[in-house]
Amino acid sequence: MRHVCKIYPPRSRRGQPVLAIADITFDVIQGEFVSIVGPSGCGKSTLLRMLAGLLPISGGEICVNGYPVRGPHSDIGIVFQSPTLLKWRSVLDNVLLPIDILRRSRSEFKERAEELLRLVGLWDFRDDYPNVLSGGMQQRVALCRALIHDPSLLVMDEPFGALDAFTREEMNLELLKLWAQRRKTVLFITHSIAEAVLLSDRVIVLSPRPSVVDSIFVIQLPRPRTAHMQYSDAFQEYAQRIRERIGIARVVVEPVDDASS
């Protein structure tokens, strides 16, 4: 991303344009796992949609694999916050949806779909419809769908935000396993600082809107990462430093004064 800027046009005739992203520049290296954190409304989802070519940029340049993004492209797999599965398609058919859209031959990708579904423990559910799956299972199907066409870049917008803490941790570790096996480049948007530290090689902190890159943290925790690492001093220190950049650490919670109640 080079000096990327986004101005949303006014929504009504008397409305004002919204400067969502002021100036964002960063690189993601092939095979790297990078997280983006920042205050709500700073433009993270906007950035992701522009990267996927789903939304035009207002200035600057975004390149994927050396080519400028000019519209939707198949170099990318996307996982949104909600699974967005088609309820009238079986699990297997949902995973194969991008293949149908790209007009590729299904038989060529059947094996890959099977492999992905096995990897996330959902092969037994291949003929079921999304409504019989839990939220975590649906999100795993969405992950397989994002990977079916073997994109070099996987981008995820708070993919586990709606899941309970337990399932979320499980999904994080599963994602790391998958990433280690496939060596995809991953750009991961999250509200959870702990999640960002646990998963990433680098964490990019965005400023409040209109956003710029506030800081970039290189996370030098050993791999493979384990859930247990969250209790280490090094982990806590990264989390604290990132928290300070986002400004959360500056909020002081006053102790309740018993005498006055």
The footprint of Mg ion (CB under 5 A) covers: 44-45
Report what 46 binds from Mg ion, ligand ATP, none; CB cut-off 5-8 Å by kind: ligand ATP
Q: Is 168 in the site for ligand ATP (CB under 6 A)?
A: no
- Smallest separation, CB 38 to ligand ATP (Å): 6
Ramachandran bin of 5, using left for φ above 0, alpha for ψ from -120 to 50, beta for the remaining angles: beta
Q: Which residues pair with 211 in a beta bridge?
A: 21
Among ligand ATP, Mg ion, none, residue 42 binds (CB under 5-8 Å by kind): ligand ATP
Find the largest Cα–Cα distance for the chain. 73
Number of residues that bind ligand ATP (CB under 6 A): 12
- Does 18 engage in binding with ligand ATP (CB under 6 A)? yes
- Write down the least CB distance from residue 188 to Mg ion, Å: 13
Burial (CB count within 10 angstroms: exposed 0-12, middle 13-18, buried 19+), residue 68: exposed
DSSP H/E element including 242: helix 233-246
CB of 13 vs ligand ATP, minimal distance in Å: 14
**According to the binding rule CB under 6 A, does residue 46 interact with ligand ATP?**
yes
Nearest CA among 194, 202, 191 for reference residue 228: 194
Q: Considering only the stretches 38-46, 124-132, 145-153, 229-237, report the one whose residues sit in contact with ligand ATP under the rule CB under 6 A.
A: 38-46
What would you report as the CA-atom Rg of the chain, rounded to the nearest whole angstrom? 20
The residue (of 45 and 58) whose beta carbon lies closer to Mg ion is 45
Distance separating alpha carbons of residues 135 and 195, to the nearest angstrom: 18
- Show the binding pattern over residues 127-146: x = contacts ligand ATP (CB under 6 A), - = does not: --------------------
Token pair in block for residue 217: 């943290």
Name, in order, each residue with C-beta under 8 angstroms of 166's C-beta and a sequence gap of 6 or more. Answer: none
Residue 62 engages ligand ATP in binding (rule: CB under 6 A) = no
- What is the contact surface with ligand ATP in residues (CB under 6 A)? 8, 11, 18, 20, 40-46, 209
